[in-house]
Chain A
Amino acid sequence: MREYSAYMLLRNALTGNRDWKPAWRKPDPKPSYDVVIIGGGGHGLATAYYLAKEHGITNVAVIEKGYLGSGNVGRNTTAVRSNYLLPENHRFYEHSMDLWENLSHDLNYNVMFSQRGCLNLAHTPAQFDDYARRGNALRHEGIDAELMTPTQIAREVRGLDLSGSQRFPVVGGLMQRSAGTARHDAVAWGYARGADRRGVDIIENCEVTGFLRDGDRVTGISTTRGEIRAPKVAVAVAGSTSRVMQLAGIERLPIESQVLQAFVSESLKPVLDTVITFGMGHFYVAQSDKGGLIYGGALDGYNSYAQRGSLPLVEEVHAEMLAMFPGLASVRVLRSWGGICDMSMDGSPIITTGPLPGMYLNCGWCYGGFKATPASGWCFAHTIARDEPHPLNAPFTLDRFHRGMVIDDKGQGATPNLH
């Protein structure tokens, strides 16, 4: 009787909600597993879930330093989309989209995936052509995209300044209707519960302190809760990637950890029905089901592990917000927070075997990791189970940078804070 359903809710309500069981167990770590995944965030948990579900590998531990989902899966702006320019990216993210569309059923956990669309505003004819290039790239892969005129936009988005008299008039937009938002915490909890039900041990409050080695080969990890052996050790720790990999002797990676702020406004009655982005800066906003506007902008732009942002960026984000929605000036921001993003040198992720034997690496999510969660876990599980990447993540190698095979959606080069 562990399936969640409306019936279960009613039945439990009648017994005073006293019979609900923990969503996942809190086991002590065993001495060894087939696979150990470091990182109990969205990607690590999804990896464990798909290892069990798709590959039948259930003797798996997920090791989390703090509480489950305490990283970026619990502190992002919840947008889910696949409207990337480059084929390597949009094919991967579209696979994620396919998984998202059935995720609540798959997990028997409502992750509230809401396909309310994502609209990128264009402010110059050149930018509109650029969006057309991207939209057409998507359409040629069977991914949905449409261009919208200001008149069409006005019909769908209330309160947007389309007067044409502002500093950067809206000349059109690129809409992806299948895009949307999901409830971020629920994704972590849903994957955790799903993995746990298939036998995966999720071990919280357990910090990795080192790697067990047999020559080059990684054979396990040492943690604050003892040594754990495993022939396969996977790392999915986002902003902490460099710190964890340094424990394995990998001193340098094409990764910088930078802080990204996010914001939520006070709760409002529905005012915004889509995810929308500003084209003459870096700003994105959606409204949560609870009513808060959830939004963010660019990175603060420097290396940080502090999860705290700076004031100038706060001001910039809100200035951009009002450039789009001047009616929101008297709405108030309720809370801000910072997450540590693992910025890669081309803005695209790394999902690969290695770099040491017995090791698997998943990182470089920049600030796009939330929407990738299902596909990242799915591809990483494949890579771990088969010891080779799936074609979808085959381009996301670690050596692509040195080899000049970068996947640079924004064309910014090795300047992580601009991706």
Chain B
Amino acid sequence: MSPRRASSGGLIDRSRSIRFSFDGQDFTGHPGDTLASAMLANGVSLFGRSFKYHRPRGVLAAGVDEPNALVTVLRGEAREPNIQATMLEIYDGLQVVSQNRFPSLGFDIGALNQLGGKVLGAGFYYKTFMGPVFGPLKGTRFWMFCEHFIRHAAGLGRAGTVPDPSRYERMNAYCDVLVVGSGPAGLAAAKAAAATGARVVLAEQDARLGGCANWSGGSIDAQPATEWAAGAAHELAGLANVTVLSRTTVWGYYDGNTIAALERVADHKATPRTGEPRHRHWTIRAGKVVLATGAFERPLVFPGNDRPGVMLASAAARYAAEFGVLPGEKIAVFTNNDGAYASALALREAGCSIVAIVDVRGELSAAARELAVRTGAEVLTGRAVTGTEGGKKLHCIQVQGFDVVTGAITGDARSIDADCLLVSGGWSPVINLASQAGARAEWNDRLQAFLPPKEAEGWVGAGGFNGTFALDAALAEGLAAGSGEAGETAPDPAGDLDMSPAPVFEVTAKGKAFVDFQHDVTADDVRLAHREGFQSVEHLKRYTTLGMATDQGKTSNVPGLAIMANALGKQIPDVGTTRFRPPFAPVSIGSLAAERYGEIRPERLTPMHDWHLANGARMYSAGLWHRTMIYGLPGETVEQAYVREAKTTREAAGIADVSTLGKIMVQGPDAADFLDRVYTNIFSTLPVGKARYGLMLREDGLALDDGTTWRLGELDFLMTTTTANAGKVMQHLEFLLDVIWPELRVHLTSVTDQWAGASIAGPRSREILAACVSGTKVDNETLPFMGIVHGAISGAPVMICRLSFSGELAYEVYSGAGHGTHVWKALIEAGKPFGLVPYGLEALGTMRIEKGHVTGAEIDGRTTARDLHLDWMLSKKKPFVGSMMMDREGLIAPDRLQLVGIVSLDNQPLNGGSHIVEQLDRDRPHGSVGHMTAACYSPALGRHIGLALVKAGKDRRGQRAFVSDPLRRRFGPVEIVSHHFYDPEGKRMHG
């Protein structure tokens, strides 16, 4: 048997043993144990090292409020750092290592920091490390040199750098009542709510339901509270309208009663079941939230209060009652309230010896006196613990006289041997979620605690959360909260202990007295902050880091405030409290990414995607789309491939997948009028069966997008947009129709995914279509430039528009998405005799550069129609979106960046993103007059060319300049030319 395990009692399963390891040493525990309880049962008291001074630390609490006992869990190569030993359920094979120590937990060099003592007080780093003003360590260098060491000394656990193989999952839930916390009040609330027929979710952060019913004694409905809780839990689990979530921490309270919770599905298992996630992220939308989150016991602040063996009284009682663990043999108690007496008695009854109860109060209540007698302890009233002794484990405490009013220490110290000291400084209701929801806490003098406000929207509180500690009263509140009916008057709590503490938070004596254990913030640090003027609660927190550790001040906030209030001579509520922020307890990043871990965005694939992959395509991302970059032949480089594709297209024919273009049906009696308003040019004159190139501006007069729109019928238009802007254009049009011009009778439908598109270009393209299209002719008469015909290819209906992006004779062939691959294959087959090749975006880009067509690289949200030589599209006959804004002075300034062509004069490749300069300076590049938006090798011209946006570019055509690309060390002479490199008259596409 483990040295500290009682032979009976507790809710663990003694019939089975679990083996686990801590820092390589093997231990055993039982099902139902946490790491903390199992280690304590094995007589281990040293769990970790503190953040700054690397002081040895034990376990202070028994739950989510634990500040000290943080460990790293190893799962194969994956590491989970900073896990509270008190929240970690053990399983067979669990591997845990301690943190923030070198070389070992027992002997840690970092503990030398303690010698720094008062030099390393709050905010010390703001006052030094500035380094010399001159010399090699001037500027930021000295600090960065020091920072390197500081960073390595700081930090707690180590994160993994290999991908975490776990799966995470998201779940949505909707309920009428969400009950947070399954203590007596929470269980009563859940039962009451369930009885009304409401959909209920009950969330409990621990593995076991019942909360304090599992350890604080008492009886409910004439049964021991533990049994009542187990019965209630069983009953709730059997109800169809109740979902019980254990191991589920409600951590976020968002707008509209949207609640976030983390369910630790498999953390307690050696191996998750097949398909089981490690964590599940719940989004619960609740009609009403019952907050039954209980209260945290507070420690007292006194010298040596961080020694391993010092423990919250309620935590010790819980270890004894729930886990059958005796946290010490000779236990002393230090308290300012009656609650600790009950804890002491529970430990006495579990078999510990209570050597002394030290109470700051001079007078005790009858109830406390009676309990004290039953513990057999010596009761020292009007006394305080002023020191503790022991290295990594408590040996004895020092007790002196204490004036509860003035806080003065009197008399000589008396030493009392003890290996465990229970402390109790009162209780702080867990109001974090209410605070997240916007509630302002109210100070309660009797309980010396912040309580939630009485009036609240969306939630209702019950039990310890309200500061209601008497069992019957808590149950009544739970019942009322769950049923939604006004509760009965709370029963007289005469039979229960009065939990109100004496207003004592700190015992001021010589030695380090810790307020925030994990961050090593001492009472002196708080006073130093006060002295230096960091007196508002937020300044205190930020200057000392009080409450900013992984426990977020669950045990330290109120004591810290109290010490500051004392220094200021103010009342605690006048100092204020910080607003609690999500999450209530740390949440795994994986759970928040959930199913998007490893799959951040959906993929958009065109209907012909598989064909591309099967035919040598190299793909890349264009927004969410996967698009073909090149169709490489074996041994070809990217450049060789795109040059071949573009060359073949210009000489014979090429085919490209343009299914990604945005496509919007614009229909209705006012469709033509609408298009006239949104395009800069006129569409109402467009005949049925013809297409027209259009340009749209934003409301601010800058270019938004371009594309062709096809008039399919008197009232039917098919608009195409660029791939990148499809969503943006749709939204723009919908806004105008819905909000600005609701009187227009126009309907918009996004049909991007409904149509597959193939662009077939090149001098042989007409012959290829003629060979495979049925139902229509495709000759120049029937299908002139910008004409539209309907027909069929290999039995599938198609719509063909003769338009060209490449500058060649070209057609876009649209078919239903389901026929996309069928039509594509038929075109490929028909094209074989004519030398048809498929081409990717690189070749498409090459041909568009040769033609000087603009894309998103030029319509970049900063350019105007005039900048891009599209002035000819600005109708003067009608207003359009942006028409009144496009001529403002800044948008017509002569030195704006304007579109030009660039030709390399040294026959070397050009890079997109290079800048253009008038004077080349390789060492100190300067004087940029613009930049290249796109570049390629032009097979048609046999030169390296590109497009650029250059200041006053229109006037520079014909001038020499240089490309300057210091990032890639590419410098060289270029000529600025017109952006129409190839067939400027457009003979080929009109041919």
Contacts and interface: CB of A to CB of B under 8 A. Distances in A.
Contacts of A124: 620-622
Interface size class of A (residues with CB under 8 A): 35 or more
Interface stretch (B28-36, B151-159, B235-243, B419-427): B151-159
Contacts of B258: 311
Contacts of B862: 408, 411
B914 interface: yes
Nearest to B152: A270
Interface stretch (A42-50, A321-329, A369-377): A321-329
A81 B594 CA distance: 32
Interface in A1-46: 4-6, 8-10, 12-14, 16-18, 20-24, 26
Interface in B529-560: 531-534, 536, 538-539, 542-543, 545, 548-550, 552
Contacts of B159: 159, 268-269, 271, 327-328, 330-331
Given A5-B128, A74-B538, A167-B600, A269 B158 contact: yes
A404 B126 contact: no
B750 interface: no
A114 B622 contact: no
Given A135-B967, A335-B552, A267 B128 contact: no
Contacts of A145: 967
Contacts of B121: 13, 17
A410 B163 CA distance: 33
Contacts of A183: 126
Contacts of B158: 268-269, 271
Given A112-B147, A115-B140, A146 B967 contact: yes
A16 B118 contact: yes
B699 interface: yes
B588 interface: yes
A413 B79 CA distance: 45
B155 A132 contact: no
Contacts of A105: 130, 133
A37 B490 CA distance: 54
Interface string A107-140: 0111011111000000111101111111111011
The residue in B81, B528, B594, B891 that gathers the most chain A C-beta atoms within 10 A of its C-beta is B81
Given A337-B581, A413-B861, A167 B586 contact: no
A147 B913 CA distance: 12
B926 interface: yes
A288 to B, nearest CB: 9
Given A289-B150, A314-B592, A318-B592, A334 B622 contact: no
A386 interface: no
B834 interface: no
A16 to B, nearest CB: 7
Contact of B156 (A5, A74, A102, A291): A291
Given A16-B118, A314-B592, A319-B592, A335 B583 contact: yes
Contacts of A402: 888
B140 A113 contact: yes
B155 A130 contact: no
Given A318-B589, A332-B589, A404-B701, A268 B524 contact: no
Contact of B891 (A133, A326, A404): A404
Interface residues of B, number: 121
A114 B144 contact: yes
A268 B156 contact: yes
Interface stretch (A51-59, A185-193, A222-230): A185-193
B377 interface: no
Interface string B152-176: 1011111111111010101000000
A136 B168 CA distance: 41
B889 interface: yes
A159 to B, nearest CB: 4
A256 B260 CA distance: 28
A94 to B, nearest CB: 13
Given A20-B531, A330-B160, A142 B924 contact: yes
Most buried by B among A14, A102, A128, A185: A185
Given A114-B140, A114-B144, A404-B889, A10 B967 contact: no
B860 interface: yes
A4 B128 contact: yes
A388 interface: no
Interface in A365-391: none
Contacts of A412: 861
B44 interface: no
B600 A319 contact: yes
A319 B861 contact: no
Contacts of B603: 167
B938 to A, nearest CB: 17
B588 A291 contact: no
A206 B73 CA distance: 49
Given A9-B127, A114-B140, A132-B967, A410 B861 contact: yes
A305 interface: no
Interface core residue of A67, A134, A145, A287 (most chain B CB under 10 Å): A67
A331 B398 CA distance: 41
Contacts of A189: 126, 543
A120 B156 CA distance: 28
A329 B126 contact: no
A9 B124 contact: yes
Contacts of A221: none
B154 A289 contact: yes
A136 B914 contact: yes
Given A74-B538, A185-B542, A132 B965 contact: yes
A136 B910 CA distance: 14
A281 interface: yes
B600 A168 contact: yes
A405 B892 CA distance: 10
B154 A9 contact: no
A308 interface: yes
A7 to B, nearest CB: 9
A267 B147 contact: no
B941 to A, nearest CB: 21
A265 interface: yes
A236 B404 CA distance: 48
B700 A333 contact: no
B155 A140 contact: no
A286 to B, nearest CB: 12
Given A102-B139, A330-B588, A186 B126 contact: yes
B857 interface: yes
Interface in A282-326: 287, 289-291, 308-311, 314-315, 317-323, 326
A159 B589 CA distance: 15
Contacts of B152: 269-270
A240 interface: no
10 contacts: A6-B129, A17-B528, A26-B533, A142-B926, A270-B151, A289-B154, A291-B154, A404-B700, A405-B889, A413-B699
Given A140-B917, A268-B81, A322-B589, 8 more contacts: A110-B143, A132-B914, A133-B915, A166-B598, A308-B438, A321-B593, A336-B583, A404-B889
Q: Which 9 A/B pairs are nearest by Cβ-Cβ distance?
A: A411-B861, A132-B913, A291-B155, A329-B590, A404-B888, A404-B890, A22-B533, A129-B912, A405-B890
Interface of B: 51, 75, 78-82, 117-119, 121, 124-130, 133, 139-140, 143-144, 147, 150-152, 154-164, 166, 168, 170, 252, 254-255, 258, 260, 281, 283, 436, 438, 524, 528, 531-534, 536, 538-539, 542-543, 545, 548-550, 552, 581-583, 586-590, 592-594, 596-601, 603, 620-622, 698-702, 857, 860-862, 885, 888-891, 911-915, 917, 924-928, 931-934, 964-968
Interface of A: 4-6, 8-10, 12-14, 16-18, 20-24, 26, 66-70, 74, 101-102, 104-105, 108-110, 112-116, 123-126, 128-137, 139-142, 145-147, 158-159, 161, 166-168, 180, 183, 185-186, 189-190, 204, 265-271, 280-281, 287, 289-291, 308-311, 314-315, 317-323, 326-337, 400, 402-406, 408, 410-414
